[in-house]
Structure 1
């Protein structure tokens, strides 16, 4: 697993005093304050890096809005960011994707979550002193970005890209993009450790769904949260051709895109 994308608690623990390390806790503010957090972490709740004007789809907040969040959190472009939640990393992965999209070079997901950290390491209720920065975002160009829109999805369908639906079975059977395969994002997670399954197990479960590094892959769900986790996992495993349908099924159906329904033989 590539530790430039996903890091373990054991990797993080000895680096907590690194002045260029910035920990971001994306849980609700009451959890950060009332339950405790990883020492040194700042609070940027999940709803702060979603577009308030687009509640149904929950799309990206915009480069300037995100930069303001990071500035207020004392984060600079050269810092290493490690994000975590308490939900197996699915909300934190959305932060990782957002930071990457707006040009932050070094942002990583904590393998596991707050509960996994709390099993072996100390937590705190102390809030770190923050010295605001003037964060200047550098959004990826359309050619660099993994995000694609409706028209690009239609093109990918025509050329036979592999569409991966990261939702649960009921959602998948209710409506899905044509030819999509299902890979519930939670299949990557070990319920006992709360972190990712071992790399060999991940590769096996992905391969069983037909998801292999040689394929052109397009990820979607409903509102682009769950695919964020799968995107980070695939990146950490070395997958290179992975697109991210930000509008996901919500936009696809709103624009009368073709869907399939019903169970799929396994």
Structure 2
């Protein structure tokens, strides 16, 4: 998944004949506003699990049916996009990775950014149905509740020298209300450039991450509420070459349900936190 993971609109325009493009916006946007030429519509809600298991994987049967209907094969090169700076598209890519898809890419920017300088079409392509095969991923970033509980202990006992950093990718107000002990706050939107609607430069991303102690030599454990926002941060970290990234899919939803410890408090620009027990 990680080679040339984030691709530009120009790159996609030059390679449309060699890739399969996936639009994860709502179907009405795909049909009514238009889409990248040749794209297929796989709305975000279609690859989320049922209510009650929000944010988790949809299941192999659901995923296989979606890929078959879209005419996507397991060895296709996929490029995903949305119109929300890539956060929904990133969740699609992480889901695809966990079902064993290998060649995955995020369009840097989103549909609005694409449509500024590139062709948009409204007619959908009718691809022949495929016979998609779910595979085991080459490696899985998924971790569960007990793993994160152990990570909290590693962070709290290691202090500034801890080899693990837990990252809360939600907004500051959410973090202040309740967060996993020892976590640093990094709003995923802080990685986005307002002008381009895509990622900030690699240099700025690395500086922002370093300010919070999120560096490549550490194990990075990601969480949000329902695994959507951490998908974007996960893709960004992989793009930057981070190798040890843990994806807590259950996130704070599961953490709270299982009675995990939480803290409240504010965080500053440097990641220093004034916390209190809740």
Length-normalised TM-score, structure 1: 0.95
1:123/1:154 CA distance change after superposition, 3 Å: same
Q: Alpha-carbon deviations, 1:135-193, whole Å to 9, x = none?
A: 0101337xx21011111111222223210000001100000000100110011100111
CA root-mean-square deviation? 1.2
**What residue is the counterpart of 2:161 in the other structure?**
none
Shift of 1:117: 0.3
**What residue is the counterpart of 2:230 in the other structure?**
227
**What residue is the counterpart of 1:41 in the other structure?**
39
**Aligned partner of 2:146 among 125, 142, 151:** 151
Shift of 1:126: 1.1
**Aligned partner of 1:83 among 66, 74, 80:** 80
**What residue is the counterpart of 2:276 in the other structure?**
none
Shift of 1:263: 1.8
1:11 and 2:8 matched: no
Question: Contact 1:29–1:43 at 8 Å: present in 2 too?
Answer: yes
**Aligned counterparts, 1:4-153, within 5 A:** 4-18=4-18, 21-54=19-52, 57-140=54-137, 144-153=139-148
Cα distance in 2 for residues equivalent to 1:212 and 1:82: 27
Cα distance in 2 for residues equivalent to 1:39 and 1:183: 34
- Please state whether the residue corresponding to 2:243 is helix, strand or coil: coil
Length-normalised TM-score, structure 2: 0.91
**What residue is the counterpart of 1:198 in the other structure?**
201
Cα distance in 1 for residues equivalent to 2:14 and 2:201: 22
**Aligned partner of 2:188 among 158, 161, 185:** 185
Cα distance in 2 for residues equivalent to 1:4 and 1:69: 25
Shift of 1:3: 5.2
Question: Contact 1:25–1:85 at 8 Å: present in 2 too?
Answer: yes
**Aligned partner of 1:236 among 227, 239, 242:** 239
User: Can you give the 5+ residue segments of structure 1 that lack an aligned partner in the other structure?
Assistant: none
Q: Alpha-carbon deviations, 1:119-142, whole Å to 9, x = none?
A: 11010001002101010101337x
Cα distance in 1 for residues equivalent to 2:4 and 2:72: 18
Counting matched residue pairs gives: 260
Question: Contact 1:32–1:43 at 8 Å: present in 2 too?
Answer: yes
Q: Alpha-carbon deviations, 1:215-255, whole Å to 9, x = none?
A: 11100000000000000000000000000000001100110
Shift of 1:40: 0.2
Cα distance in 1 for residues equivalent to 2:166 and 2:55: 21
